[in-house]
């Protein structure tokens, strides 16, 4: 009996030793995540930046030249990071929409935790969907890997907020700036206003402080004796932060710094020696599967990204895909494809100017100064484009035009490139089952009863016809008007919506659609009624259109109210018959964070009401 008991104890001890040894063979993984900054680092060639810690870190690691967020704004980007899925596939592309996802879609730290990792997040989440608390052992401003069990591997995230957009909302005195506003090299699309120069200099100060904080985390890891067992990632959650960067699908909004350091013990997992620079394309879609690959875990089939590290590393991707949906209180829709040389952008709402007023963006002093220069007629052609309607397609040679100001889409010399990337965009829309083409007023209604990914797969979503209609609608091709008029009567409300968008884009050239648009003011779908009202405004049908828009403000659907307010803002004093309902909306909704409240306040502010 004693012998059996001894053997049992010995067996359990040996199992425990083996388990601890296996755990110690797993790398620790540390994520240092800065907010809202493009690669404004010395190691990326920015000579104005003061980033000694990350510059030194780059010498110890692998620097990625072509790393991209999927969205040029935090919440949808963070959804991509935490799930390994593409937000337009899940209906989570719009800012803070928080639509739920299928049960199988897990926040990836949960897989690490189940495999024995101690998982911590300090402290931002902002995942744009229902939270999954079980992903973390700790998630708070005090979360730390130091609380794990002895020998337990960890995955720890530290979010550095200092470089966030809000850091330039309040200007510091010029005498306190470390970076000289007069020495800032502004991008060619920004005017040389004092406010713009000051915001840029203050931003560089924030990046310098971010670098100091990143350095402190690296020193702490060394002090804990963990550097030789820890793979460290440094990256930013999106580009930013001055106007036309964050929220916009240019290099300035989507390209991010990414540096990964592999200790000697795990150098076999590294794609190159310390100090290596790689041009491999990676996107936030690839981060979750890559971490599971590093940890030796299986990659769930629902993940749309591909591992770029570890034993399950996939072949290099040819393209990085990105998107823009509703940004706070402003409706918009763009998709983009990037290879190693070119960026292609398809604007599906080209009738909307880039510079739609966003309450949060305009808190930066540089934005009102840019707007004032535009209104005063003092901008050059590159600087004024931001305040004009968008082209349907944009194509940029990144090597020769890093600021994306020379649109090559109409240049015959680049026709083959345009067609190739246009097809890549179209194919990805279909393959990813992009539900972002469902107007959000309808999307939110569907999400109340059905998971949006499941809806996309159900056969109820006529994706191919919807995309075809959206392509026709945004082509600015008058010869397509008969087809648009035909689809104004389609049984599918989403198709009808896009057909109406086509008449809005064509403006007066779509006059033949006027009789049918008038009937759509009574469409059963509120989003179609709002779009029809917008189209009819171009034909002078002000009274009936404003009435329809005003009635939409009574809708229980917040996204319908936002859509209607977006239209009313564009017509100035002609919106006055709707003011009573706008005031009533504000009395009912008092939260400044509500997007319909922001849009409503802006209309009354401009009117002096």
Token output for 102 = 């299928």
- Whether the pLDDT of residue 24 is over 70: the answer is no
**How many whole angstroms separate alpha carbon 192 and alpha carbon 202?**
15
Q: Is 161 helix (H, G, I), strand (E, B) or coil?
A: coil
- pLDDT for the residue 6: 57
Band the pLDDT of 20: cuts 50, 70, 90.
very low
Is 43 known to be catalytic? no
Cα–Cα separations (whole angstroms), residue 364 to 95, 152, 241, 516 = 19, 44, 10, 43
Q: Reply yes or no on whether the pLDDT at 262 is more than 50.
A: yes
Position 606 scores a pLDDT of: 86
**pLDDT at residue 423 in the model:** 98
pLDDT computed for residue 589 by the predictor: 72
- Which tens digit of pLDDT belongs to each residue from 127-144? 999 999 999 999 999 999
CB neighbours of residue 361 within 10 Å:
21
In the chain, the domains with their CATH numbers are 24-318 (3.40.720.10), 434-607 (1.25.10.10)
CA atoms of 313 and 48, how far apart (whole Å): 36
Tokens of 89: 């596939």
Six-digit token string for 506 = 């064509």
Give the closest residue to 493 by CA, choosing from 476, 509, 469, 510.
469
pLDDT digits (tens, 9 = 90+) for 318-360: 999 999 999 999 999 999 999 999 999 999 999 999 999 999 9
Question: Is pLDDT above 80 for 21?
Answer: no
170 Cβ neighbours under 8 A, 6+ residues apart:
none
- pLDDT category of residue 4 using cuts at 50, 70 and 90: low
- β-strand partners of 343: 338, 396
User: pLDDT band at 568, cuts 50/70/90?
Assistant: very high
pLDDT at 3 (0 to 100) = 60
Taking only the tens place, the pLDDT of each residue in 193-249 is: 999 999 999 999 999 999 999 999 999 999 999 999 999 999 999 999 999 999 999
Q: What is the pLDDT of residue 10?
A: 52
Task: Please give the average per-residue pLDDT across 404-416, as a whole number.
Answer: 98
Give the residue from 351, 347, 297, 354 showing the smallest Cα distance to 322.
347
**Sheet containing 334-338: which strands, arranged edge to edge?**
320-324, 334-338, 342-347, 393-397
335: left (phi over 0), alpha (psi -120 to 50) or beta: beta
Instruction: Look up tokens 């067996």; give the residue.
Output: 11
Q: What percentage of the chain carries pLDDT values higher than 70?
A: 96
pTM of the model: 0.95
Distance CA 537, CA 543 (A): 9
Tell me what pLDDT residue 15 has.
47
Contact 461, 455 (CB under 8 A): yes
Measured CA to CA, the distance from residue 459 to residue 574 in angstroms comes to 42
Instruction: Look over the chain and give the mean of its residue pLDDT values, rounded to a whole number.
Output: 95
- 22 pLDDT tier (thresholds 50, 70, 90): very low
| b/e per residue 60-81 (b: at least 16 CB within 10 A) | ebbbbebbbbbbbbbbbbbbbb
Residue 462 contacts residue 116 (beta carbons within 8 Å)? no
Residue 588: pLDDT band with limits 50, 70, 90 = confident
The residue from 69, 74, 297, 562 that is catalytic is 74
What pLDDT, on the 0 to 100 scale, is given for residue 608? 77
Residue 18: pLDDT band with limits 50, 70, 90: very low
Residue 12 has pLDDT above 60, yes or no: no
Provide the token pair at 92. Answer: 């989570």
Q: What is the mean pLDDT of residues 142-157?
A: 98
Query: Confidence class of residue 7 from pLDDT cuts 50, 70 and 90?
Result: low
Report d(CA 505, CA 516) in Å as an integer: 16
Beta bridge partners of 33: 159, 235
Q: Give yes or no for a contact between 365 and 199, defined as CB atoms under 8 angstroms apart.
A: yes
pLDDT at 396 over 70: yes
Query: pLDDT per residue over 484-502, tens digit each?
Result: 999 999 999 999 999 999 9
Q: What are the structure tokens assigned to 573, written together?
A: 């004093």
Residue 538: predicted pLDDT: 93
């Amino acid at each position: 009996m004693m012998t059996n008991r001894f053997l049992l104890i010995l067996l359990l001890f040996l199992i425990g030793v083996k388990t601890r040894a296996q755990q110690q063979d797993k790398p620790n993984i540390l994520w240092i995540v800065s907010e809202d900054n493009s690669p404004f680092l010395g190691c990326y060639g920015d000579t104005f930046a003061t980033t000694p810690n990350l510059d030194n870190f780059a010498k110890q690691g692998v620097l990625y030249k072509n790393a991209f967020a999927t969205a040029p704004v935090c919440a949808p980007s963070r959804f991509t990071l935490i799930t390994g899925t593409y937000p337009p596939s899940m209906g989570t592309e719009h800012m803070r929409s928080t639509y739920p996802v299928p049960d199988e879609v897990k926040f990836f730290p949960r897989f690490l935790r189940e495999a024995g990792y101690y998982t911590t997040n300090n402290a931002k989440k902002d995942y744009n969907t229902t939270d999954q608390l079980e992903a973390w052992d700790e998630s708070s401003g005090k979360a730390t890997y130091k609380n794990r069990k002895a020998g337990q591997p960890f995955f720890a995230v530290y979010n550095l907020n200092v470089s966030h957009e809000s850091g330039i909302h309040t200007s510091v005195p010029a005498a306190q700036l470390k970076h000289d506003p007069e020495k800032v090299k502004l991008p060619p699309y920004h005017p040389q206003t004092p406010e713009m120069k000051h915001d840029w200099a203050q931003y560089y100060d924030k990046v310098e402080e971010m670098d100091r904080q990143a350095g402190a985390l690296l020193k702490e890891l060394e002090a804990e004796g963990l550097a030789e067992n820890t793979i460290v990632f440094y990256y930013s959650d999106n580009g930013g932060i001055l106007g036309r960067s964050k929220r916009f699908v240019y290099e300035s909004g989507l390209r991010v710094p990414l540096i990964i350091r592999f200790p000697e013990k795990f150098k076999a997992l590294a794609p190159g020696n310390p100090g290596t620079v790689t041009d491999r394309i990676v996107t936030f879609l690839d981060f979750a599967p890559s971490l599971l690959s590093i940890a030796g875990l299986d990659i769930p089939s629902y993940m749309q990204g591909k591992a770029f590290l570890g034993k399950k590393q996939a072949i290099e991707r040819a393209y990085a895909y990105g998107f823009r949906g509703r940004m706070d209180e402003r409706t918009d829709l763009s998709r983009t494809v990037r290879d190693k040389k070119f960026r292609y952008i398809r604007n599906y709402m080209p009738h909307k100017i880039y510079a739609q007023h966003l309450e949060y963006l305009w808190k930066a002093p540089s934005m009102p100064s840019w707007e004032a220069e535009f209104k005063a007629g003092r901008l050059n052609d590159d600087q004024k484009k931001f305040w004009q309607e968008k082209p349907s397609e944009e194509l940029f040679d990144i090597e020769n035009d890093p600021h994306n100001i020379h649109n090559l889409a109409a240049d015959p010399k680049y026709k083959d490139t345009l067609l190739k990337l246009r097809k890549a965009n179209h194919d990805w829309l279909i393959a990813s089952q992009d539900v972002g083409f469902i107007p959000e007023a309808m999307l939110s209604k569907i999400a109340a009863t059905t998971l949006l990914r499941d809806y996309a797969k159900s056969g109820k979503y006529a994706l191919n016809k919807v995309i075809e209609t959206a392509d026709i609608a945004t082509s600015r091709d008058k010869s397509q008007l008969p087809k648009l008029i035909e689809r104004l009567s389609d049984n599918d409300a989403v198709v009808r919506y896009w057909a109406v968008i086509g008449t809005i884009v064509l403006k007066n050239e779509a006059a033949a659609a006027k009789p049918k648009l008038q009937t759509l003011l009574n469409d059963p779908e509120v989003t179609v009624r709002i779009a029809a009202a917008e189209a009819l405004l171009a034909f002078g049908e002000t009274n009936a259109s404003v009435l329809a828009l005003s009635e939409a403000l009574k809708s229980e659907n917040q996204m319908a109210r936002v859509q209607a307010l977006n239209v009313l803002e564009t017509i100035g004093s002609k919106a006055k018959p709707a003011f009573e309902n706008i005031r009533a909306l504000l009395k009912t909704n008092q939260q400044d964070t509500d997007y319909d409240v922001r849009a409503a306040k802006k209309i009354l502010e401009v009117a002096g009401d």
